[in-house]
Structure 1
């Protein structure tokens, strides 16, 4: 008999990628999946993935599952989720991201377990109380809500990094036995060579010398990624190494500010902001160094993709990043917001490249998709036994 799984999620970023990979990898002979997703914040990746998801699961949009706090929308999302639980009668409810985690788990609490729910799992993809933009009062409210939901509704939380798990324990959310680290994984499959990846970028880098060093970023240009620190690091690196080019693959609200910064600092001809590309995880092979300046993370897919491509990483020393980057083996860490240290890390990796075999090996040790799928599906099986 198939296990019925209801997933509830926000449809963007690493959370969207994680759920898409999970649904694609679950055996359809063993699992019957229903997915309720927030329809208002879909990014391009998720929008392009949606048709494939629809072939593997029953997919239901929820226009009221939003990031911003809105009691009216949250009540509607809660009622829609409760109706779905009564209809599907899932063996497993698995909630992804803080907002979906609150709505989904509260729906289970209000429905009780009388509609067949045997286990409730939660993957935060970075807790809301970790975000630096929230005030002390909001952070306290989010912490108390997470604590109540964990203790009263959640059977097990899957943290995507040990740092995220430590944050949960430091906040006193629940007993340590109710948290398990399951790293985000990606498929261990061949990637383009550096020459092939540069050719894939095509006209975007037309005229660039074949031997020009490229520092690359594949990330959304949003607050969490601290793009203004990233662009300042780019300018500092180019000042010291005029042969270097910096490539951004991703879009977001900071694009125009970054372009203006490049013009003001005379590096517009060396910095290429290409916008969103569906092939981002493949063109990363074109880079000599990968740069990420996040303020906080859960477990960033972009870093794992860089490792698979054999590209060493210069990243901020923050939760998530510090578990992917092994200084001396696959990259270097530097303090959050520190432009000088970030530039120094990038320049060091350019001047003294790390062996590709060591970088790829650090991916295969911990971050394969098969490892992630085996662990989560085993929990689903156990819950529905």
Structure 2
């Protein structure tokens, strides 16, 4: 198996690829991960001595296709699996130069919603169209992604495998993240968290709007820690200053100790415009941290409002502010939902099921 994750060198780790590599190694599955040299994923794979093939080129260098063909030939790969837009383009080109018995594209999100601008939207979706036309099998990480592939890209349902993202058991926690010492926030602070890329699709602006409403109404206990990097970072920091939220919002940048960050949170927020099934939600649930998220297809197919998650309408700052105001003073409900979410993820969204469905998709691709 050749897993391809050609992502930004300074972006976050592709959690699904890293987890798949760990489990493949544990099960004795022969594989390698083609990855950008020096990227966060490359460093994580190296740290765990997992098979990685670093590619020391720019993401747009056409020689990447030749690198993938060489790697596949050296290991006699029978499956190639592209895990993001760039990876899918290069997997398509590589498959023209080498006949892979199994060709797969794993789709984590709705490309046209993440990149709605004309031109960029078509560029992103082009990777899926080409994969479709060349007979790739698709892995969808949620029902929302599955419906996107059938309804927008036109992929036949029998060529799609639904494989929910899954979580490994929680291991030992890293050293404590002393958020209070880093920020100087009061001890009675109610800490919200957002973890992920700093991109418009994640909905930071909606949360800022909701927080500004609450501050204007006299709420002073709430603070927000934002973990992650991205192209929207400078603009978001500017908005925080302009809205008078500088003392309420802390940008922590990229952190590898996500489990330690989660230990500091009272509530995880994900006011996204579009999502597949984000790992940050599953990671929070695994630690019993309650989650307040936009009610989007995919997540709402799995989680229940006020049962295993809290939902608000996407893009509605007023409703988000109302829900936050109630939850800040309802610790019992937060604990109840966080505990239920933890049990749900442990029993229904384990890593074993994710890997079993992934391998089933690979087997199906080789039978096409």
TM-score normalised by structure 2 residue count: 0.85
2:23 paired residue number:
25
Q: Does 1:161 align with 2:161?
A: no
Answer yes or no: is the 8 Å Cα contact 2:145–2:276 preserved in 1.
yes
Query: Which of 310, 323, 344 is equivalent to 1:332?
Result: 310
User: Kindly tell me: are residues 46 and 242 of structure 1, through their superposed partners in 2, closer, same or farther at Cα, counting changes over 3 Å?
Assistant: same
CA distance in 1, matches of 2:296, 2:361: 29
- Asked if residue 98 in structure 1 is aligned to residue 85 in structure 2, the reply is yes
- State whether structure 2 residue 50 is matched by structure 1 residue 51: no
Q: Distance in 2 between matches of 1:29 and 1:274?
A: 36
Q: Match of 2:165?
A: 184
Q: Does 1:118 align with 2:105?
A: no
Q: 1:293, 1:76 → 2: CA distance?
A: 39
Cα offset, 1:327, TM superposition: 0.9
Q: Are positions 1:87 and 2:85 aligned together? A: no
Of 340, 344, 360, which residue of structure 1 is paired with 2:342? 360
In 2, distance between residues paired with 1:382 and 1:315? 34
What is aligned with 1:8? 4
SS of aligned partner of 1:214: strand
Q: Any idea what the Cα deviations from partners look like across 1:23-63, whole Å, max 9, x if unmatched?
A: 112136732222222348x3xx435414235x221422152
Q: In the alignment, what sits opposite 1:61?
A: 55
Shift of 1:364: 2.0
Contact 1:231 1:258 in 2 (8 A): no
Relative distance call for 1:261 and 1:314 in structure 2 (3 A) is: same
Q: Which residue of 2 is the match for residue 216 of structure 1? A: 193
Does structure 2 retain, via aligned residues, the 8 Å contact 1:183–1:366? Answer: no
Asked if the contact 2:115/2:121 (under 8 Å) is kept, the reply is: no
Contact 2:104–2:362 at 8 Å: present in 1 too? no
Q: Is 2:258 aligned against 1:285?
A: no
CA distance in 2, matches of 1:56, 1:132: 32
> Aligned ranges for residues 291-370 of structure 1 at < 5 Å?
291-323=269-301, 325-352=303-330, 353-354=333-334, 355=336, 356-370=338-352
Shift of 1:131: 2.8
Q: Kindly tell me the number of residue pairs found equivalent between the two proteins.
A: 360
- Structure 1: gaps spanning 5 or more residues: 67-72
Report how far residue 300 of structure 1 moved: 0.8
Q: What does 1:134-145 correspond to in 2, within 5 Å? A: 134-135=117-118, 139=121, 143=125
Say which of 166, 188, 213 aligns to 1:236: 213
Summarize the Cα distance change of 1:152–1:330 in structure 2 as closer, same or farther, 3 Å threshold. same
Q: CA deviation at 1:179?
A: 0.7
Shift of 1:239: 3.5
Task: Name the SS for the 2:253 alignment partner.
Answer: coil
TM-score, with structure 1 as normaliser: 0.81
The answer (yes or no) to whether the contact 1:65–1:99 under 8 Å persists in 2 is yes
How far apart are residue 342 of structure 1 and its match?
1.8
Local SS of the residue matching 2:116: coil
Report the aligned-residue RMSD: 3.1
Whole-angstrom CA distance in 1 between matches of 2:124 and 2:252:
36
Residues of 1 paired with 2:243 and 2:344: CA distance? 37
CA drift of 1:101 comes to 1.2
Match of 1:35 in 2: 33
Who is 1:133 aligned against? 116
Gapped regions of structure 2 (runs ≥ 5):
none
Q: Distance in 1 between matches of 2:248 and 2:113?
A: 34
